[in-house]
Every structure is written in C-alpha cells, then in structure tokens.
Structure 1
Amino acid sequence: MRWDENHESPDVIDRRGEGGGGGPALGGMFAFLPLLMRSRFGWVGLLVIIAVAMFGGLRGLFGGGEQRVHGETRGVAGAQGDEKMVHFVSFVLDDAQTTWRELFSERGRSYRNAKMVLFTGATQTACGRGRAATGPFYCPPDERVYIDLSFYQELSNRLGARGDFAQAYVIAHEIGHHVQHQLGTDKRVQSASRAEQEGAGGASVRLELQADCYAGVWAHATKRRDLLEAGDLDEALNAAAAIGDDRLQRDSGGAVQPETWTHGSSAQRSRWFKRGYESGDPSSCDTFAEGTL
C-alpha cells in the first residue's frame, strides 16, 4: 500500500505506556451491553466482557496523564518505538474517514469523525475497561476505535495474515462499525431479541459482515486513488479469512459450531469484503436484507 510515512492525525489519541484504569458508570455501560467493544474478532465472549466491566473498577471515563492536541487528548506517556506503525495507522484512519466523509456528503449526510486510541495492555473506555486481549474494538458510546499495536504481531505471526493491507483492513473494519453507529444500524441490532442476534445468520454476524463490506468499500476508494499495490487485495482477503469464526474454532482445537458464531465464517468475511471492494457502493453491503450470507 502506498502511504505517507510521516503522516500524523489529529484524531489519534496516544495512550501507549500509560496503563489502564476503571470503566464508566453502570448506567452507561449496561445501555450498550449488546454492543460492548464491537469487533473483537470472536476472541472474547460477552460474559468475559461483563466480568471485566463489573470488576475492573467503575470510576470515571478517562484518567489523567494527557494533554490537549487539536481540541482532543493525546497521551504524554506514549511508548517509544513503533513510530512507523503509528504513522501508518494514522494514515489509514484519516484516509478511511476521508472516504466516508465523501460518501456521506454524496448522500446528503454529514460524517462525524471517530477517534482512534492507541494503548498498551489495558485502557479506560466508555464501554468498560478495554484490554489488548480482546483485539481491536470500536466503542459506540465514545465513538472511538481502540487498538494495542501488538495485535499486529498476533495477526501476522499466529494468524498468518501478513502485509500492510491486512493491517489496514483491521482499521477499516472498525471504522465500518463507526459508520453503522452513525447510520443507526447498531441500534437495530441492540433492539433485536437475543434469539435474533445469535447464530450464523443472526444480527450480530450480519453487523460484522457489513463492517467487512464497508472495509471493502474503502479499499475500492484506495484503488481509485492509486494507493493499492500488487498483492494488497490478497492480503486483506487473507486477513478476513484468518479471523473467521470457523477458522478460529478449528485453530483452538474445538469443533466448528455455527450457532455460536458472532462474526461469520472465513468464506463469508472474505466474500463480503470483496463485495464492497468490487462495488465501491455502501448500498451493496446490506447484509440484513440477504437471506443467505
């Protein structure tokens, strides 16, 4: 992928090296329980998140040790190193949001930028205490994407999804959740019954596959802007397949159980990303209207 190696984003909040604290008040937390920390790539179940949120310390939203940058907060204790990766994720974040701002404008809507928080180990969020073990996630109440950059080592070394466009896909997927939040799609899932949310064809899987498709829509835009290089599409498709529920279940030594899926199979995730990439049209991503995913 072609990108500006010196890029900085006013929407990146650097908390690396600060450590994490408690979460929000109970009322705000439980209002979003069905959507807590979306896009954990199927690694952590809801019961674990509830336990973390209840026992991780329910204090303020965010702690100290920060300074104002462009009207937002940026940590002053960010870890040294990984600076090239910081520039990379900043570039992808801004490029993805520029794409969605343009798409929203074409449809007579205003796009509201998300923030991206870089952290180490654990951090406070409006959804409870976020941990690196959950993988990257999006928190609807504070409209922020959270990522511990060490995740990319896991993505490459353990899951075998290598390359910069695999890394970019992860961010584009999370911004897809931010798009859903602005469109009210996440509320549709939140209001569904538990039976409607669960399973291979449930609303939770449909929400995740739509975020994959939205990531593909962004990838289509990068192709138009001549940012794609040979092999980039394959990297993204490989990453989507690597985090399919069936693949993760097999890799963990368990049986494939579609009734427990939360994000979709490897084939589904790759297929919906490719649909967005080929069309470049968000309207092609209506997973909720599809009988067969």
Structure 2
Amino acid sequence: MRFDNSRESDNVEDRRGGGGRSVGGRGIGIGTIVLALVAMYFGVDPSVVLNQATNGPAPSAVSRPAGPPANDAEAKFVRHVLAETEDTWAQIFKDNGKQYAAPTLVLFEGRTPTACGTGQSAMGPFYCPGDQKVYIDLAFYQELKSRYKAPGDFAQAYVIAHEVGHHVQNLLGISGKVQAARQRAGEREANALSVRLELQADCLAGVWAKNADAARNILEAGDVEEALAAASAIGDDNLQKQAQGYAVPDSFTHGSAEQRMRWFKRGMASGQLGVCNTFQSKAL
C-alpha cells in the first residue's frame, strides 16, 4: 500500500497507555465476541455479555504498561488510512450532493469507555454510532496475522475501511432504520438484518478502495488479495468452525467468508454507492 500522495488524519485519539486495562478471567469464545459486537453496535453495553461469559460479576483488570509513543509506525499507518477514507468519502458525498462528517478513530488498549458502553479489546475493532467513533486496539492486527492468517498492510486498511463503512451507513440513516427493524424482529430475522448491514459495510470498503486508488494510486500488487484474505478469515462460517467445529448459518451476524469477499469485490469493481444496497438484494 502506497502513501506517496497521502496526508495523515488529525482525527485520531490515542488513548494507549492512559489507563487501559486488559480483561482477565476465563477465555471468551468467538460466539460471545460476535454477540458483544452486535450488542455494542446497537447501543447495548457489551460488557454485560462479556462479563457473563467470564462467569463473574466483572472481569479482573490488570494494569498494562504505558503504550508506544504517539508517532509510532502503527499509529502513523492508521492516520494515513483514516485520511484516505476522509478524502475519498468527502468526494463521494459531494458528488451525491451531501456533506461528509469524518469520524474520530480511537486507539486504545484493553478497554475504554464509549457512548455504546465499555469497549473491550476482545471484541476486535468496532464502530459506535452513539459517538461516531471507530475503536481499535492495534493488537488486533497481530491477531489478524497470526491467528487468522491474514497478514499485510491492506488487510489492516480493509479493517478500518469496513468500520468507516458503518459510519457512512450511520450518516446516511441506514443504521437507525436497521436498528429499529431489528427491535421489531425475531432473533433469526434480526441476525439476517445484521448480516445485510455488515455486508454493506464490506461493499462500502470496496467502494472506498476503488475511489482512493483512482485518485491517489494507493494500491500495490497483492493488496486486494490481502483484503480478501482478511474478509474471508473473519467470515462467520470460518470463525464458528474455528471455535466449535461447525457453522450455524441462522446465527450469522456478519456474513460468510464467501459473502464478505463477494460484496467487497462488488464495491471495488464498481466504485459506486448504488451497488451496495444489500437490503434490496434477494440473494446475498
């Protein structure tokens, strides 16, 4: 991934080393993490789910050492990627007669307060519509590389672009409509709506990649394959098979590996917002 023509974003809040704590107690299964993510996205404090999973009132907390300096390479990378999303979505919104309001990206370690409840590293990167912030513990990138076998800088950029895709959904009013519909639905239908929301965010990540590359030539050989590997690795079917040996499609909340890759490729092939309407697509 090239940043020759890219600036660094000023919308990064670095909370690392500022009182972040790590979660102790029993291990947390991937199914619990998925539930916690869904809970947080729709405004429910995810610590309720995580605390129940650790079989105790509150997980033990262990102080972590001070985080790396604010100008470390990982933080600079995040600021470059976030700037790319800002410039790209500002132009797309302008072309569609709208004004883009950029989100803040928060770097944290262990746990951190959010408008959606307590954010925890165990949940992976997430977006909170309540404060319009993207949250990420950069330790996730090592997890993506070692545990999920999805290395590469563009795999990391895809993760950020997906969460910013949720911000775009929030600005366009899609998230609020989905939340209202989920509250009226049964569990199976609510899960299906979550899948459509997540696949749309994957598609929007593809739209971003297409437009950012066209404007500033950010992609290098192998970058798209890195993003697809990440999308596949965190598909619900692969995560469930890794955790329990089999997949239960009705319980999916983010989409299968094949779906996540396909919708990212669809957004990238077109570069147009209109191709990402997962809510009108009969076949996901």
Question: TM-score, structure 2 length as denominator?
Answer: 0.82
Aligned to 1:287: 278
Aligned to 2:207: 217
Aligned to 1:37: 40
Aligned to 2:73: 84
Residues 180/222 of structure 1: CA separation in 2 closer, same or farther (3 Å cut): same
Across the aligned residues of Structure 1 and Structure 2, the Cα RMSD in angstroms comes to 2.8
Query: Whole-Å Cα distance in 1 between the matches of residues 198 and 118 of structure 2?
Result: 22
Query: Whole-Å Cα distance in 2 between the matches of residues 200 and 267 of structure 1?
Result: 21
Query: Whole-Å Cα distance in 2 between the matches of residues 34 and 148 of structure 1?
Result: 14
Asked if the contact 2:112–2:118 (Cα under 8 Å) also holds between the matched residues in 1, the reply is yes
Residue 18 of structure 1 and its aligned partner are, at CA, apart by 1.4
Q: Equivalent residue of 2:224, what SS?
A: helix
* One-letter amino acid matched to 1:37: M
Asked if the contact 1:200–1:261 (Cα under 8 Å) also holds between the matched residues in 2, the reply is no
Query: Whole-Å Cα distance in 1 between the matches of residues 169 and 86 of structure 2?
Result: 13
Query: Whole-Å Cα distance in 1 between the matches of residues 67 and 257 of structure 2?
Result: 35
Residue 263 of structure 1 and its aligned partner are, at CA, apart by 0.0
Query: Whole-Å Cα distance in 2 between the matches of residues 5 and 47 of structure 1?
Result: 44
Query: Whole-Å Cα distance in 1 between the matches of residues 235 and 121 of structure 2?
Result: 19
Query: Whole-Å Cα distance in 2 between the matches of residues 212 and 49 of structure 1?
Result: 26
Residue 222 of structure 1 and its aligned partner are, at CA, apart by 2.7
Asked if the contact 1:16–1:118 (Cα under 8 Å) also holds between the matched residues in 2, the reply is yes
2:194 pairs, out of 174, 193, 204, with 204
Query: Whole-Å Cα distance in 1 between the matches of residues 137 and 131 of structure 2?
Result: 17
Asked if the contact 1:137–1:146 (Cα under 8 Å) also holds between the matched residues in 2, the reply is yes
Asked if the contact 1:199–1:258 (Cα under 8 Å) also holds between the matched residues in 2, the reply is no
Aligned to 2:49: 48
2:137 pairs, out of 136, 148, 152, with 148
Structure 2 unaligned residues grouped into runs of 5+? 22-35, 59-65
Asked if the contact 1:196–1:202 (Cα under 8 Å) also holds between the matched residues in 2, the reply is no
Query: Whole-Å Cα distance in 2 between the matches of residues 263 and 114 of structure 1?
Result: 22
1:231 pairs, out of 198, 206, 222, with 222
Deviates more, 1:128-137 or 1:200-209: 200-209
Query: Whole-Å Cα distance in 2 between the matches of residues 188 and 138 of structure 1?
Result: 17
Q: Equivalent residue of 2:199, what SS?
A: helix
Asked if the contact 2:8–2:82 (Cα under 8 Å) also holds between the matched residues in 1, the reply is no
Asked if the contact 2:6–2:83 (Cα under 8 Å) also holds between the matched residues in 1, the reply is no
Residue 255 of structure 1 and its aligned partner are, at CA, apart by 1.8
CA deviations over 1:154-203 (Å, ceiling 9, x no partner) = 00000000100000000000000000000010111111145367469711
* One-letter amino acid matched to 1:130: G
Residue 10 of structure 1 and its aligned partner are, at CA, apart by 1.2
Query: Whole-Å Cα distance in 2 between the matches of residues 34 and 117 of structure 1?
Result: 16
Asked if the contact 2:116–2:130 (Cα under 8 Å) also holds between the matched residues in 1, the reply is yes
CA deviations over 1:191-248 (Å, ceiling 9, x no partner) = 1145367469711000000000000001102321211000000000110000000000
* One-letter amino acid matched to 1:38: Y
Asked if the contact 2:144–2:150 (Cα under 8 Å) also holds between the matched residues in 1, the reply is yes
Structure 1 unaligned residues grouped into runs of 5+? 22-32, 40-44, 57-76
Matches within 5 A, 1:97-246: 97-193=86-182, 195=185, 198=188, 202-224=192-214, 225-246=216-237
Q: Which has the higher helix share?
A: 2
Aligned to 2:13: 13
Residue 6 of structure 1 and its aligned partner are, at CA, apart by 9.7
Identity %, equivalent residues:
52
Query: Whole-Å Cα distance in 2 between the matches of residues 267 and 199 of structure 1?
Result: 20
Matches within 5 A, 1:54-69: none
* One-letter amino acid matched to 2:102: N
Residues 216/236 of structure 1: CA separation in 2 closer, same or farther (3 Å cut): same
Query: Whole-Å Cα distance in 2 between the matches of residues 46 and 79 of structure 1?
Result: 26
Aligned to 1:258: 249
* One-letter amino acid matched to 1:160: K
